[in-house]
Amino acid sequence: MNKEKIYYFANVGLILLSIFLLSKTISEIKGWGLIGKDIAPQTTISVSGKGEVVVKPDIATFSFSIQEESLIVSDAQNKVAKSEKEAISFIEKSGVSKDDIKVSGYNIYPRYDYLKTGKQTLVAYVISESIEVKVRDINNAGKIIGSLGELGVTNLSGLTFSVDKYDDIVKQAREKAIADAKLNAKSLAKDLGVSLSRIVNFSENGSTPSPIYYGKAMVMSSIEIATPELPSGTNKIISNVSIIYEIR
């Protein structure tokens, strides 16, 4: 009796396994017909949107250098340190925070003269230090720049105007672009007689404004310099977005 039950259940198992393998084989054979053929794409529409925010710069950034030379490195370093201390002290007294003043470069290199014999002789060691300054009161930038020439500054360059909270402005432009895209999507869906479903894709391309530069690099000297007028202009931040909606 036990043997008969075992044979019975074994036969049932084999039958079920055969049915499963048969259905799997049929499914695979049907799939062969799709190989190499295009599959119908998801029903979607794509819309774009644009957002712009025009802002007035609230930060002026510039850099200047101090350069000294001597046959003794420590002498040149002491001269640079003295000029740096005077320049930074003046800048801080002009209302700039010490957190907005930083050394952006420091170089030491030998300077040689070449003799007629082809040999070179050491003339001096040159110490050059670059300092970057961020002025948050841009109306005060011209006064600071105009006075640095009397403090041992050898040149000034890279004056640009920018926005302090740039990421916040980019977010505003993106929000406008998304709102514009959604409005375009509703209008297009109405014209096509379809309904918008979920968003299946999103992408953004931002337009970073070119920095506003003031003039060229200026060589500073101890000659009195008139305070320059520094027109800061405006910056335009642009966001371009693309949204793909599933439709029904």
pLDDT band with cut points at 50, 70 and 90 for residue 44: very high
Residue 153: its pLDDT value, please? 86
Q: What is the pLDDT of residue 33?
A: 58
Instruction: Report helix, strand or coil for 232.
Output: coil
Give, in degrees to the nearest 5, the angle at Cα 140 between 135 and 141: 55
Residue-level pLDDT at 220:
40
Percent of the chain with pLDDT strictly greater than 70: 74
Residue whose pair of structure tokens reads 């406008």 in the numeric block: 176
SS3 percent helix, strand, coil of the chain, rounded to 5, is 40, 35, 25
User: In Å, how far are 154, 183, 185, 189, 248 from 194, measured between CA atoms?
Assistant: 68, 15, 11, 5, 6
The pLDDT assigned to 221 comes to 36
Of the ranges 18-32, 70-84, 103-117, 133-147, the best mean pLDDT one: 70-84
Q: Domain 60-162+215-231 is of which CATH architecture? A: 2-Layer Sandwich (3.30)
CA atoms within 13 A on the CB side of 174: 13
pLDDT (mean) for 174-185: 96
What pTM was computed for the model?
0.61
DSSP 40: P
Which among 155, 74, 156, 68 has a CA at the least distance from the CA of 111? 68
